[in-house]
Structure 1
Amino acid sequence: MRDRVRVVVQGKGRRRWHARRAGLAGALWVAGELAVTVGVVVMLLVVHQVWWTNRQALRAAHEVVRELEEEGGGWAAAVPEEVGEGEPSGEEPVGESSGSGGSGSSGNSGPPRTVKPSPPRASAYGVLRIPRLGVAVPVAQGVDKRSVLDKGYAGHYAGTAQPGAEGNFALAGHRNTHGEPFRYINRLRAGDELIVDVRGKRYVYLVGQTLAETTERDTGVIAPVPRSIVSPGAGYSEPGAYITLTTCTPEYSSKYRLVVWGTLKR
């Protein structure tokens, strides 16, 4: 009798153990399915951000370049403005405010001089060509991410010089995603051409220097006479007609800024 009771109790224990094991297996299965689902969603978001938005912006930018070429360069200026006027920058470019950063580091004094006016914000008015990289990108006024940079454009820092003028024609562009026009500017070498076409006029700059890494607050790189305030040995010391390209570095990060400078070919 005792043995028979003992067997029954043992059977109940075994069934409970199997039930707990089945419950644990079910929970693990559900957790695994959830993890796979989350992984797929994350992967799709990454594909959308890195691949799809890149293709969309690149296609749209190429269309704008084609239209500008057909129109002979785009927007025409009418009324001069003063140096330093313009809107603040977005998150991608150098400095917190491109208007103040572009001119505040120059050390110039006296009354403001008049220059060619800036085109309307977010309206592409010219084309930057980088023959070594096979790049042709629209140039628009301002460096706001949503209305300019995320369209695959190169954004012209407010308060910096216009193409071909004395001073510093400073541009910002994405290195990754959204057309990534400046992805490979680290490959540029001294003497490479940077060509700017604006309303039937062509300005050719020659790459002179590259600053591989600086902080986002190094506003000296877009000053009228560009010179890094973080790495004082990088940049120029004499007035001239310059071009500056800025983008984020390292790739897929916005921790630092990569800078390429060039001078106008006379």
Structure 2
Amino acid sequence: MHRFANKTVIVTGSSSGIGEGIARRFADEGANVVLNSRSREDCEKVAADLDPECTLIVEGDVSERGFAKTIIAKTVERFGALDILCSNAGIAQSGAFSETEDDDIDQVLSVNVKGMLYMCRDAYPELKKTKGCIVATSSVSGTGGDYNQALYTVSKGAVTQMVRSLALEWGECGIRVNAVNPTFTRSDLTKGIEEKPQLMKAFNRRRALKRPAEPADIAGAVTFLASDDADYITGINMPVDGGISASNGQPDFRKYD
């Protein structure tokens, strides 16, 4: 299946984890893929398995002013157009908010919020030409609170709301804007969590599907939202969480009969 033949997609934060899974899925479906992270070497490891004629690496930090214009210009120079922006780059931060340092606040908001704002704003002229779309990576933490993750939930809440606002503002131009809201997803970055059996059991008690997400699970939802099959879908934040958000948090009454 080549739903994205002759389409070009930028996937920020695509050297590992969810971003890598998204990039690989688009490549498998025929897209020209622009890989991005702050490390060119890490992107090259992903690119080694992809068609070099359909792959471009643009290393850099999405939170830096001017970088969005650079990656978009290089994309259009190489492939002629931009059809899809996957604003995926992000960082996590946990801990008591009362102990949060100023540098922590600056870093998380710069990457998770400013990075998306810059990328979306500067992609707009090209996406308007192609009537393209944006799929952002938000989080279940962008729709509800988490213990000891106030800063992260604030940043993902901003992504969730930005998607809604841009969908309203840019719909008349033919640009669709959506997000996926994953939960814990297996990757090199989450190995520390998987090494805590009691924490993993607690996660599984909350998940209807009783297993962690894989990057491919998130990638499937992203490519659906970017495809023509979702041509009349905009402004949504799609939970890809194994059923966590289906619960209102009350206990399983069956276990107390």
**TM category, shorter:** under 0.3
Name the structure where helix makes up a greater proportion of residues.
2
Name the structure where strand makes up a greater proportion of residues.
1
Larger C-alpha radius of gyration, 1 or 2?
1
Q: Structure 1 length normalisation: TM-score?
A: 0.27
